[in-house]
Chains A and B, each alone.
Chain A
């Protein structure tokens, strides 16, 4: 474990960052991390989301959940907005994760081409 002073430095920086954001946590990003998700590569996807949100100070939280139920479409990421509206992204990889962050968390626009809805439309 690192020293207390390191952690306190991290705390002070984090507090500053939170106070700089307008509106707290507009989005909730949920990554499916059950056996199926992990095997399909959900871990790099989760790390990409956490890194992008941190880098750009998006007002979003990133959490994990178990199996979302469409194991063949893992890694699956759900993004909830403040009204509770859910967008489900499927077959996500770290590159797509960065694009989704930019569009959805940054500009508030759903990145349709990676969503499950567009996949269903193609079928």
Chain B
């Protein structure tokens, strides 16, 4: 291959496409991001809240969209479709057709005058037709780019030239161009990433759902819009027929999923169980706890991290779960609806509801289907883009990668992981062209404001109705105008929207502001965005303060608007007092050791190591055992049917022979110093290494009931049950049975009967999470037994079958082959005993209400995946946290699934949560992609808000040296004072609190600033 191109095409501007674009653009590649609608954001932008954290979807997404929109190295092409991709990996020629927007994005200020005057009301597709918009429209309030567009399907002028043209007449900047035409872009790129997302299943083909016939039957996507503050009802839950607030809501699961009859979708859509629970929880938050919420389901699939806890909590809060599938939705009086259903014992019940939500499944969008066809990208049997078990983001066409729900239904974290993994694959291909086509950002020189008196600007955000629905924003703004030092105060619908930010920069320059306060959501997500705005306006970014009037005010005082408004004023007053005393700080940076440490040489660790090594970054791979492969050596085959052994041998060979990988067997990490860019790690053999990043992939363990501490909790429903595991040779765990499949499968062929018990050690009070992999693994093993002996009885005793996504086809195949599934619950636990030297298993069939006894030749326990006991120690060394279940805790459950809160440290594989091999590989690649955003640079930004020692007061006692968790403070032996390394200091303030002599302060966070804020708080 000749020198590859240093740019990448990303198709689809949903969360997956955005993440892939950002990862690539932040590690040295130029990205063309092609989006078919008028704004990026995709489906996630249409969601109200996200599970399991109940974060506001638009709020956590918006900063990423804005970053994308502002990124120098991302070329955003909206209203665009990829027509063709010709050429080879490294050198593709892409033709993109961009439909006319009829609005000049350079001139449009998004003032909205055009839409106000446009006479043509049309169904709002962003709100799924539940509301109206105008023919000239903004896709949604936080749209990026925040520019209007004209819908040619409805525009009066475009359909009948000469008529109307009102928008052009009223636009204050002359941005309307009704003669706009289609543009053709020819792009040369090295790789292509497909992230075209999904479409929601259209239930109008299923007459019995009543969708399209009864107005109060809505889809789950409709319901998201009905909950959303930017939706047609502005977040007030109202049912469509009469705008009444519904008090009885039902969710029907698996509409368009797990249905091979009318819906033609045999697969599980993977996300619907969780989103239905979330919607039920949020609906009750909106409309009160007296709202009854009933979820009708087949199997409750809460197989992700923290999902089971969410489900249990919802259940405890009174959300009703019915294991029943409703045949037909029928009308009742006044727009209400009746559901007739049979409970598990066959008793028929009838209940009335105000509203029925259809939990619709996911399918590949028809336009994505066409695109795949044009690009020669193969589809699988379910019409998703086909991928490989061991190469989860690679399509059949070399150089073309896929991520997100286009390859299988999946949730947001999984899509984000895959997006980073796809970015990794592109980098693996194109690393030689890194930084070749990128541009760098130049900020204007900063104005020296030291000598100026404070000139403060206050910007108060409505956050749609998130703040303005409770707090009187206008009143707060007026109040701010009177505060000392305040020169100007403004209020904005969404302060984070692109136009407001641009406007803010302009205001700073025009009014000569030297301090800025934004009163809005939370610094957690939005502070960097606003700080960058200050830099663009030519002032130091630390001359900024945020008043948290949403998370800490409007959201917690929803029912006390007056007090909330008062509190908002207090918070603004404090912020103004504090910012007035802030000083400019230097922009610190740390040079980067361009090498990585990967801990754990299982499949995840090896995949991560190779992903970085292939790009030329040296990797030290540390493994506590004396062999590679981790748990994978015990695995027979993946759920897609691929044998693990050949893959593992090949992977191990590549790792061992790679010039950039140094494998260290038999050692562990014993000490870690430093921070992102320059870690200094000591291993258990005493050796040490410097590295810029670390990836933790230390795996997990399989729970063994015979040896375990199963019944630590005496209240455990299973008691001290060991199922004779370890005591009898005919009782296996899943991995033990895999060993038999690998070594001596024929020894099982003579068996007449095998029984599997699911959820052994999972979903119980002491280990409440679902182990995610066991249903699929067990069913695949059951199928293997049927391969060995088709005549064998195979019985699965299960609680819920959780073969999410396309794994469902294994479940279907298993039933088709006559494998018997008998459900149990905690009130009817299976009993295992011995009888005449053999095993006897007693269970209860809930459908027939009948006790059944089996005499299996062997028993298989689908036992839990549990975190390793020593994982906490390692996490602590890297200053990383663990979740309640003792798995490693990522920085953000939804959008930062492979990052730790500690910069430069990433995680992958089972130490994060139980997951199958394809997901572990994708996560490892994602971790590598995230690591590459550091390793690709010569230096990374370091903390500016650092500790500062007043040498006059310092007594050299050394308390701070011992306290500092980052080893950033050291004694100066000559001067007998403490010295702070500003590259290591994280600004945590521990030394400040520990200093007995009041000698250390945190820059801009000293007594002066804090006391000013406290004093302000006490004022009236």
Specify whether A and B are partners: no
Please list the residues of chain B having a beta carbon within 8 angstroms of any beta carbon in chain A.
Answer: none
Please list the residues of chain A having a beta carbon within 8 angstroms of any beta carbon in chain B.
Answer: none
